[in-house]
Structure 1
Amino acid sequence: MTFRNLALILVISFIIIFSAGCVSEDQSADGNESDVSDSGYRTVVDSRGVKVEIPEDIERVVTVSDGLVEGVMYSLGVEDTIVGLGSTCIAIEKTYSYPVDDGTCVNGSGGSSIQLVLDPDINEVPLVMEYGVAMNYETLSSLDPDVVIIRLGSCSIQEKDSETAQKTIETIESLGIPLVVLYSPNCYSDQSLSHISDEIEIIGDVFGKKEQAAEIAEYLESQVGLVEERTSDIAENEKPSVLMFGLSATHRAQGGAGVVQGLGTTESYMIEDVVNAKNAYRSEGTWQIVNTEQVLALDPDVIVLCTAWGYHPMDELYNATYYSALSELTAVKNERVMSLPFMPCNCDKRLEYPIEVMVIAKAAYPELFEDIELEEWLIEFYMNVYGVDQATAEELLYAQWMEWCIEE
């Protein structure tokens, strides 16, 4: 054998051996996708379907969310990695006040975000973005984040396909910062609450805590499933009409009685697809302004009060002087009004969404859910989701102004 032929054989052998031992960076040896691309990094697929390469050891995180991302991070035990926020509502504290017939005002205090109770130091974390204000990229860069997690549908970036969303995503990626984008239920046409489970599991992937995240999502779904199971056989003619009503002072100043949630919203999905009742407002749209005459014409069987530019207790609708014209509503006369927990920046649902479902269910079908003591159920919910003790769970109940459910 000549030297030239021997050299050719050696080259061919080397190529065969090298090819057999190599796989692409996105595949394992058996051809399946792997979540690890290089040593020290993992690959996460976000809501866009984009593969994002992030460090395995994450120490610095910036979030743009109204509480969902931060709540999941707390539940996963990684909340101390947050170095920047994209919402003023994470660390918010609130009061409420309304006038009554005797000339005095009823005042409430102590409302706050869930995150502020769980992590009081979070109010010292720098803001990189907030509602109505573009992201401060200089501040973002100075925080040197390992990853940025943005939830589209939150108040800071409400529209998935908006110019703000696209510009924010493009700019962060151009800075070379790993970016994980989440789609909230408002980003989908079906508004299904299962999309929140998808978000939770993506966050779990980011921090290498898939199983723990899946357990959180499964628990939340189980609480919704309890309601669905009990209401699945309700006949069409037995379904009460439920109005999701926000007693917004902002819109009262504009001549409205408040705002309502129409068809095609997550609230309507909760009412009709989960609780199996009827949304009293049959037009489409979120935060639709309605006047007194329109509310009287709707005359719902049940009214559920949501956070709308502030918290609104049941007694505000019953007793505030500016709602005297609504005293003849069927729901008011029959005392079929309930308030959802206080959720500042209520643009999309967070980990507490099963609480909303349960309140709507108890308001719509009190007999079916008579055995569920809301106070006890809430305490257990907070403890299971956030891993807190009973004392902290009680703090969360009061922070969300849910003390109205406490049995005397």
Structure 2
Amino acid sequence: MINIKSIHHILRLALFTSVIFACLLCQSQAFGKEQITVEDFRGKTVQVPVKINRVITISDGLIEGVMTRLGEAHKIVALGSQCIPRVWTYDIPNKNGGSFPYKEGMNTITYLNPNFKNLPLVAKFGVGISYERVAELNPDLIIIRTGSCALNQGRDILDKTIGLLDSLGVPLVVLHGPNATPDPGIESISREIRILGKIFQKEDQALALAQYLASCVMMVRERTEGIVPDQQKRLLLLGLSPKARTQGGAGHVKGVDTLQTYFLEQVIRAKNAFTGPGAWNILNTEQLLALDPDLVVLVTAWGYHPPEELYFAPYYEGLQEMRAVKNKAVVALPWTPCNCEKRLEYPIDIMVMAKAAYPERFKDINLNQWLLDFYQTVYKVDKKTADELLSRQWMGWVRKE
């Protein structure tokens, strides 16, 4: 005869077991929903948590800029570039006495996120990554961008770096800047933006941002269509680098295998006056004079370099014999500290170069208004803030147009 108490005990046990099983099943399903699958530039599938509160970034501003646009920058707990928290001041000497002052220059995202100045650094150019510090900060996610100054490394070293970060057991998303790819182009930047949009579940906003940047490029490309090779201007991408001067040269020049040359050839329909490869070639005065470009474009190179430096600095008297310098055919790109890879402001470079090379094709474009519209659209800020961003990139000269 079956004991009634035993039956009740068995039933209670069965019920308890079924409840536990159901709870485990619900937890398992919930756990699956708490992660997002992202494929990074390695082709690796990364499981990223849905709820992200602590992010460590290693880039010169692209990742942080996109996160700013998406409203996620407050989640960054550490940075991987010493150029993001810094504020710069320069006094460009004048051979006639006095100087040209440039003050309060900074990365656009630093102006938009003043708290970045107080965040710890887990990586610096020439120093490497502090893996212990990364672990101590207990991040939910690490996002890095190869090609950035702190990760501008050879393939073997870079693979080791990524492997060590992976070994920390924290989800790691790896992006590649254009110059870190075999064939530099802007398509990879759009892909980076879209991946970041997926990570933070704001894919529509990220797509809109990528499409706007692409539309800026397309507008320039359409206006320069039909410029045949014989009519194309020869531009020299020159960095008036003090580092180059200490090594016996006059400056650095960008080669034909860089993203900057892609801008020239594929978008602006111009030519690079320097036909060699490499991103930081050191040339002396005689070599630069021999190139005889139609237009000199001054890029960020171990500091900011305005046209006044080339026109008036006593240490560039030799270069002042260049035809482009005598014709005042010199233009400066925006101040871009840690200029190892391009970030969200790259269409500004394209527009500045295109308008300087072919002014008749862009005569209806007022650079001051175009820049204000650009900053307002990219970062969703008001006109006053956009004007401040223009100043922080030392583009105030456009107000004189």
TM-score by length of 1: 0.89
**Match of residue 111, structure 1, among 105, 109, 116:** 105
2:371 maps to a residue whose letter is L
**Match of residue 32, structure 2, among 16, 29, 38:** 38
Matched residue, 1:223: 216
Contact 2:37/2:45, CA 8 A, preserved across alignment: yes
Matched residue, 1:289: 282
2:144 maps to a residue whose letter is I
Q: Which runs of 4+ in 1 moved over 6 A?
A: none
C-alpha displacement of 1:37: 8.2
Q: Does the alignment pair 1:159 with 2:153?
A: yes
* Cα distance between partner residues in 1 of 2:88 and 2:40: 34
Q: Secondary structure at the match of 1:263?
A: coil
* Cα distance between partner residues in 1 of 2:382 and 2:303: 28
Q: Any gaps of 5 or more consecutive residues in structure 1?
A: 1-35
* Cα distance between partner residues in 2 of 1:90 and 1:143: 19
2:292 maps to a residue whose letter is D
* Cα distance between partner residues in 2 of 1:127 and 1:162: 24
* Cα distance between partner residues in 2 of 1:206 and 1:39: 14
Which is helix-richer, 1 or 2? 2
Matched residue, 1:194: 187
C-alpha displacement of 1:160: 6.5
2:253 maps to a residue whose letter is V
Q: Does the alignment pair 1:137 with 2:126?
A: no
Please list the CA deviations of residues 151-171 of structure 1 after superposition, one character each: whole Å capped at 9, or x if unmatched.
0010000136241x2222112
| Paired residues for 1:74-113 under 5 Å | 74-113=68-107
2:325 maps to a residue whose letter is V
* Cα distance between partner residues in 1 of 2:147 and 2:95: 40
Q: Any gaps of 5 or more consecutive residues in structure 2?
A: 1-29
Contact 1:96/1:108, CA 8 A, preserved across alignment: yes
Matched residue, 1:233: 226
Matched residue, 1:7: none
C-alpha RMSD of the superposition:
1.3
Contact 1:90/1:113, CA 8 A, preserved across alignment: yes
Q: Does the alignment pair 1:271 with 2:256?
A: no
Matched residue, 2:321: 328
* Cα distance between partner residues in 2 of 1:112 and 1:253: 25
* Cα distance between partner residues in 2 of 1:109 and 1:162: 40
| Paired residues for 1:252-271 under 5 Å | 252-271=245-264
* Cα distance between partner residues in 2 of 1:285 and 1:166: 22
**Match of residue 177, structure 2, among 173, 184, 203:** 184
C-alpha displacement of 1:39: 2.5
1:152 maps to a residue whose letter is T
Matched residue, 1:307: 300
* Cα distance between partner residues in 2 of 1:380 and 1:103: 38
**Match of residue 369, structure 2, among 342, 366, 376:** 376
**Match of residue 245, structure 1, among 225, 238, 256:** 238
C-alpha displacement of 1:353: 0.3
| Paired residues for 1:193-212 under 5 Å | 193-212=186-205
Please list the CA deviations of residues 311-362 of structure 1 after superposition, one character each: whole Å capped at 9, or x if unmatched.
1111111111111222221211221111000000000100000000001101
2:41 maps to a residue whose letter is S
Matched residue, 1:121: 115
Q: Does the alignment pair 1:346 with 2:339?
A: yes
1:89 maps to a residue whose letter is C
For these two proteins, the number of residue pairs brought into alignment is 372
Matched residue, 1:365: 358
Identical aligned residues as a percent = 49
* Cα distance between partner residues in 1 of 2:269 and 2:96: 40
Q: Secondary structure at the match of 1:367?
A: helix
* Cα distance between partner residues in 2 of 1:150 and 1:101: 43
* Cα distance between partner residues in 2 of 1:69 and 1:193: 15
Q: Secondary structure at the match of 1:169?
A: helix
1:106 maps to a residue whose letter is F
Q: Does the alignment pair 1:393 with 2:386?
A: yes
1:267 maps to a residue whose letter is Q
TM-score by length of 2: 0.91
* Cα distance between partner residues in 2 of 1:386 and 1:199: 17
* Cα distance between partner residues in 2 of 1:192 and 1:134: 27
Q: Does the alignment pair 1:170 with 2:170?
A: no
Please list the CA deviations of residues 236-295 of structure 1 after superposition, one character each: whole Å capped at 9, or x if unmatched.
110010000000011112221101001101111111111110100011111100100011
